[in-house]
Amino acid sequence: MSPVAVDVPVDYRRRLRSGVGVGEFSDRAVEPAQAFTNTGLLFEHPGSRDYDPREHIAQHPDTPERIDSIDAALAAVDWLGWERRVAPMVTRAELEAVHDADLVDMIKQLVAGGGGSIDDDTYVDAAGYRAARHASGAACAMVRALMAGEARVGFAAVRPAGHHAERSRAMGFCLFNNIAVAAQLAIAELGVRRVFILDWDVHHGNGTAEIFRRRDDVLYASIHQAGIFPGGGALADSGSGPGFGYTINLPVHAGADGATWLSLLEHVVLPAASDFRPELVLISAGFDAHRDDPLADCRLNSHDFALMASHVRDLARRVGAPVGAVLEGGYHLPSLGASVISMMRALVADGEAQSVAPEFAYTPRAASYVGQHWDLC
């Protein structure tokens, strides 16, 4: 099946992006699979296709075709040799380790009543609830496998996304915070002492930041476009209490390209993460910073995601930690499939990441904040 583009209407775009026009760049066709000495684990679930919020919110951009586009691209390259596993369902206890019981009960009650809206962008029905529990379950199963040494790299290609879901609030297409649930599982049950979460979705991961903002066992770093949904994520917000310094927010302007993102990652985020010495590395892997994505205005291409992934891979190898990615956003279907493959290839590739020169405006300012808490040398 070939990826099918979805036309996202202008009125929906206005809620999640500023007014700068979308670029005209399109990615090259995906190249044939390469031979790798290392392979990863890919976690999926059929329920990711069952949930379609367009049945309740017209022209919603988070569609089952997102998963179809990823699977079509991966099938064309024989899944890159990765082992495919069916994701289990997260348990209630695993959810409540991160989310308030009242939130879980509210969602269950909405489903029992036939479904309902949580906000203007977020609707839940029985299919959505099942999909969300398997999405969190995929992230948890991935972390269990990584920490058991079954692989060094994993990817949970599931929906709905999770990084906007807060402890007591579902929002922004997200019901449960998949990556936060998995990180907490690693700490509470698997003996992990320090988790690094990198969020490169173009929208700030307010939920993940809120859940861990007062903790020093999770370092959360987000590169995101400023001035769009959900707001927040200011450079000066570094967490609070025992977690002061353990939140790194790096907002960029509309039109920021891959060089800007890569500079912030290489020269600010990853030196801080190296100083933190994580035992598990997780990526909130949104691909809506791509220049063709309709819900934001950054200018990355699929190769930029490969470059970012290669730097994260090198960090994980230096500190001896496995790395797992969890799908977040990405709404331009052809570029979504290409970007996912670029990331997956880079995460298992040999060699060293390509270094970039420090960007002259954002990087020094960001380093002045982050360097108050971490050794960036």
Strand (E) or helix (H) holding 94: helix 92-96
Distance between CA 107 and CA 103 in Å, rounded? 6
| Secondary structure of residue 346 in the 3-state scheme | helix
Return the bridge partners of 155, or none. Answer: 42, 325
Tokens of 46: 């059929």
**What one-character DSSP code corresponds to residue 89?**
P
Catalytic choice (164, 203, 204, 311): 164
Q: What are phi and psi of 195, to 5 degrees?
A: -120, 130
Closest CA to 228 of 252, 192, 199, 261: 252
Q: Is 290 a catalytic residue?
A: no
Residue 134 near residue 89, CB atoms below 8 Å:
yes
Quick one: angle between helices 126-147 and 101-112, nearest 10? Answer: 140
SS (H, E, C) 4-37: CCCCCCHHHHHHHCCCCCCCCCCCCCCCCCCCCC
Give the pairing type, strands 218-225 and 195-199: parallel
CB 88 within 8 A of CB 144: no
Considering only CA atoms, which of 297, 314, 300 is closest in space to residue 342? 300
Rounded CA gap, 69 and 202, in Å? 20
Strand 323-327 with 153-156, pairing: parallel
If one counts every other C-beta atom within 10 angstroms of the C-beta of residue 232, the result is 16
Contact assessment for residue 124 and residue 135, using Cβ atoms and an 8 Å cutoff: no
Q: Is the dihedral of CA 161, 75, 64, 114 positive or negative?
A: negative
Q: Which residues does the annotation mark as catalytic?
A: 164
